[in-house]
Amino acid sequence: MIRRPVFFANWKMNHGPTEARAYVAAFLRFFSPHDDRTVAMFPPALSLATVRDARADRTDVLLGVQNIHSEEKGAFTGESSAPMALDAGARLALIGHSERRHVFGETDTFLAKKCATAVRFGLTPVLCVGETLAQREAGETDDVVTKQLLAGTSALTSDVIADMIIAYEPVWAIGTGRNATPADATSTHAVLREALRGALGSGAERVPILYGGSVNRANASELLGAQGVDGLLVGGASLDPEGWAAICRT
């Protein structure tokens, strides 16, 4: 069960196994178990098993992977599958992060297959959506995020969609130090919630919608307090265990 508020740490390509082990030990000292929120870490694939073992009995901290392939297995050198991720301890999978879309060229169609594969093997998809600066300046934000949401969930039944997680991460705010204002987040989260209502009816309220994009210790509380923001997907600011623990206590 995903309890709100939700705090997800995406380490991206940082913290190999040795660093990851030390990180988890420090984080657990700074963050005691909380039963009123959901906390998860998304380490690099090579560090996932290390994080799982270092976490030990602190199963209040969930684990996820940053990426999966759309196929169960096969000749896809360098990729990881959903069954592998599950076997390694992951329960969540980021899908459609802006870097996967814009650096690696992943399409809405491919991401829809990934969502379906994640669900088929017992992983909860965390579908990321967001607009570029050019799209924002052209007034296309609402259309872009709605299209990405509907496309990404197109292969799923309504019951399955109700159990997934959505993350709004404006591309122009990721790693730039420039974050959306609480009003920006409120506006776009409302658009996403309405799109979910159109697909799910009352079940739409079950879906947490997170904000991600240059979240840090200083602005986390304000962003989390914005109407419609159910949690935070944090990148760079999650790499320091003490600072990440402080955000998770927000």
For residue 65, the cross-strand partners are 93
Of 99, 106, 131, 169, the catalytic one is 169
Q: Do 91 and 58 form a contact (C-beta atoms < 8 A)?
A: no
What DSSP element (H or E) covers 168?
strand 165-168
Q: 124 in helix, strand or coil?
A: strand
69, 97, 131, 189: which one is catalytic? 97
**Active-site residue 169, yes or no?**
yes
Helices (H), 73-210: 82-87, 98-102, 108-120, 133-137, 141-152, 158-161, 182-200
Instruction: Burial-class residue 3 by CB neighbours within 10 Å (0-12, 13-18, 19+).
Output: middle
Nearest by Cα to 231 from 9, 12, 28: 9
| Rounded Cα distance, 32 and 24, in Å | 12
Are residues 13 and 44 in contact, defined by beta-carbon separation less than 8 angstroms?
Answer: yes
Active-site annotation holds for 222: no
* Contact by Cβ (8 Å): 4, 230: yes
Query: Active-site residue numbers?
Result: 97, 169
